[in-house]
Structure 1
Amino acid sequence: MNIRKAKISDATGIAKVHVDSWRTTYKDIIPQSFLDGLSYEERTKLWGNHISDKTYTIYVAENEGEIIGFVTGGKRETNKEPGASDLTSIYLLEEWQGKGVGKKLLNQMMIAFLQQGDQKVYVEVLADNKTRQFYQYYGAEYVKTVQIKIAGKTLDEEIYVWNNVEQVIQSSK
């Protein structure tokens, strides 16, 4: 298993992980009709654009040439705090969850944040997403809950913060 910076040619693999992980992670949370409507083709275009956009940092986890997970980070438009950034997504294929891949992706992204001078990182996660405990395990502290709408359904989204990027790097080695 290898963690590396994403390339344009990874867009299709990232899209597959994105769609498949949403369908498993958000089953019974987000309306099934929305999950069924997710398209590999549309997500491939989206990820091609994201990889090209230098305001995003994207790493992939690959195993024997297959992308099995990814992590993204950058500063959300709503984040006006100096020295702070956002972990915008981390997804793994279901069969790779709980095997240390997420920890390696988190570590690599935190190293990238530190290299760009960020000391604080925010992450937003649906309250019903059981994987939110992953962030808590690595020291993210609860900030607040906001409501968002996905496919017409109002959902609670929890916002967490890491106040010390170096500490997260040490705990996720």
Structure 2
Amino acid sequence: MGLDLRRAEPADVERLAAVHVRCWQETYRGMLSDGFLDSRVPADRLPLWRHLLESAEPGVVWVASDGGTLVGFAGVHHVPAGDTTHAAAPPSSGDLELWGLYLLASHQGLGLGRRLLEAALGTSAASLWVAADNGRAIGFYRHFGFEPDGAADTIPDWEHLREIRMVRAGQPRQ
């Protein structure tokens, strides 16, 4: 397999939207209703991906591909001061937040998740939000130094999916 990582480009918009929705459907099946997940369509994600790839700073979104087929992505941004995305305040203003790391189920366990995380964050201090019932993801993030900090929230538009925040301190470069 030709498993590669690179920075996302504007030409990736449609493929990112499709992978994003497919990953949601694979990841959240059993946590959210089938009707909710089946109603998600790539066309609904296109405006977000266009915005991210046209206005984001370089290196904010990384994509993983297998022989040229997009199979996952990771996105990171700085949490702005006064962020109100979640009810809980950010750990501290301006910290990095991993806002998404998704891989198709067929490509999990191959080291791509680690590679995406390292490309997006390196060893920087960061935070992320993860579904409270997603034990596999929580275990993955713990392996890379993230721990729950006690903050929790729900996403009302997502059938009140409960999330927890995980954080890690920066690691010295070696």
Match of 1:37 in 2: 39
Structure 1 moving runs of 4+ over 3 Å: none
Shift of 1:28: 1.4
Counterpart CA distance in 2 for 1:57 and 1:13 is 17
- Distance across 1 between alignment mates of 2:17 and 2:66: 16
How well do the aligned residues superpose, as a CA RMSD in angstroms?
Answer: 2.1
- What is the TM-score of this pair, normalised by structure 1? 0.84
- Using the aligned pairs only, state the percent identity: 27
> Secondary structure of the residue that 1:11 maps to in structure 2?
helix
| TM-aligned CA distance change 1:33 to 1:76, over 3 Å | farther
In the alignment, which residue of structure 2 is the partner of 1:66? 69
User: Could you list the per-position Cα deviations for residues 83-124 of structure 1 after superposition, in whole angstroms to 9, with x for gaps in the alignment?
Assistant: 62100000001100111100000010113xx6xxxx420011
Q: 1:81 to 1:147 in 2, by over 3 A?
A: closer
Aligned length: 162
Q: Secondary structure at the match of 1:160?
A: strand
Give the aligned partner of residue 105 of structure 1: 116
**Alignment partner of 1:90 is 2:80:** no
Say which of 140, 144, 150 aligns to 2:150: 144
1:85/1:121 contact within 8 Å kept: yes
Q: Which runs of 5+ in 2 are unaligned?
A: 84-89
CA displacement 1:11-54 (0-9 Å, x = unmatched): 11111211111001101112322211111122133211111122
